[in-house]
């Protein structure tokens, strides 16, 4: 089958932090514009869940581009914090304790597993505190996906999923490039994570996807269409016989419970009478023809006798 979209890092690790940060809970608070007191409840649940979630997933996180997984965490957390910050009843006095508390919980959890590379003090907060922080994540996701597929181009080209992968990436590059072109300077640092200055390299990698298995797939599809399963001899035999049996069963039912029986009997009797009368007429006709033949034959015998008598004399 080969590489599929589900193996792309942006898909595979997309929700890895959701349970730990109680994302659905806080998103529900934001979406329904609930009061800020519920944000403090979310922070307490964050404290309960994040450390245990990190402990459970530390191997996956540490073995799969830890730096990117850390950036993903802060993209999501700062997006949530920004949306809480703009609550109508919110002020710096109420917002700052929430932000400070969340950062402390994150640091504590990472220190507990002996990992200091994701500490909040090591990030540049200015890179994350903005209304469009998730756009940075989208650009970062594309960079990671392209880096992942680049050494696997030949494998993708032979994959049955090639066309799906190609279509997805072509759509993504168009969408993300529009985001990038709004403010290239804003995303310059993200491209530098992948040692790139612009989108040219990403586009060149995607252009290498040629889907060499496409003809083989079309041939298989064509063969399947030419020999559908319902055209087999067994299928035809079963359908024809079952159809005949069904017809006879329906006819028998109608014969038993509807006036069809008496109508059918009358038709049969009329047919029998007609055949009998026809047979009688034919018999009479044959008898008459036999009589005529006998008469003619008799006359011929008399003629022959007379002729022979004359000849003898």
Q: Residue 245 to residues 144, 230, 256, 271: CA-CA distances in angstroms?
A: 64, 19, 17, 26
Position 107 scores a pLDDT of 97
Position 3 scores a pLDDT of 86
Position 246 scores a pLDDT of 57
Q: Which two tokens stand for residue 52?
A: 């245990």
Domain ranges of the chain: 1-131, 133-227, 233-312
User: Token pair 């993903």 is at which residue?
Assistant: 72
Position 299 scores a pLDDT of 43
Helix axis angle, 66-85 relative to 92-112, nearest 10°? 160
Give the global pTM: 0.68
Position 101 scores a pLDDT of 96
Residues of the chain with pLDDT under 70: 1, 88-89, 214-313
Instruction: Assign 20 to helix, strand or coil.
Output: coil
Could you tell me what percentage of the chain is helix, strand and coil, using 3-state DSSP and rounding each to the nearest 5? 80, 0, 20
- The secondary structure element, H or E, covering residue 279 is helix 260-312
Position 154 scores a pLDDT of 95
* CB of 157 closer than 8 Å to CB of 210: yes
Distance separating alpha carbons of residues 277 and 274, to the nearest angstrom? 5
Position 250 scores a pLDDT of 59
Position 275 scores a pLDDT of 47
Position 242 scores a pLDDT of 47
């Amino acid at each position: 089958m080969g590489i599929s979209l589900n193996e792309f890092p942006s898909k595979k690790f997309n929700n890895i932090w959701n349970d730990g940060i109680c994302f659905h809970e806080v998103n529900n608070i934001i979406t329904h514009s609930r009061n800020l007191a519920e944000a403090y409840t979310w922070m307490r649940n964050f404290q309960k869940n994040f450390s245990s979630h990190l402990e459970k997933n530390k191997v996956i996180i540490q073995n799969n581009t830890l730096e990117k997984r850390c950036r993903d965490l802060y993209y999501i957390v700062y997006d949530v914090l920004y949306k809480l910050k703009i609550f109508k009843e919110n002020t710096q006095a109420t917002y700052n304790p929430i932000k400070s508390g969340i950062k402390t919980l994150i640091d504590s959890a990472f220190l507990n597993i002996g990992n200091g590379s994701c500490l909040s003090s090591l990030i540049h907060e200015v890179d994350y505190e903005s209304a469009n922080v998730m756009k940075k994540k989208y650009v970062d996701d594309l960079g990671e996906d392209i880096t992942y597929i680049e050494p696997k181009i030949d494998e993708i080209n032979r994959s049955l999923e090639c066309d799906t992968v190609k279509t997805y990436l072509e759509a993504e590059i168009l969408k993300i490039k529009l985001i990038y072109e709004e403010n290239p300077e804003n995303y310059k640092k993200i491209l530098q994570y992948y040692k790139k200055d612009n989108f040219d390299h990403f586009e060149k990698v995607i252009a290498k996807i040629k889907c060499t298995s496409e003809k083989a797939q079309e041939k298989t599809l064509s063969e399947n269409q030419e020999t559908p399963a319902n055209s087999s001899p067994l299928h035809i035999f079963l359908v024809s016989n079952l159809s005949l049996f069904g017809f006879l069963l329906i006819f028998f039912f109608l014969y038993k419970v509807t006036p069809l029986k008496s109508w059918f009997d009358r038709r049969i009797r009329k047919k029998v009478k007609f055949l009998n009368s026809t047979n009688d007429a034919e018999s009479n006709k044959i008898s008459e023809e036999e009589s005529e033949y006998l008469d003619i034959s008799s006359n011929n015998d008399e003629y022959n006798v007379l002729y022979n008598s004359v000849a003898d004399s």
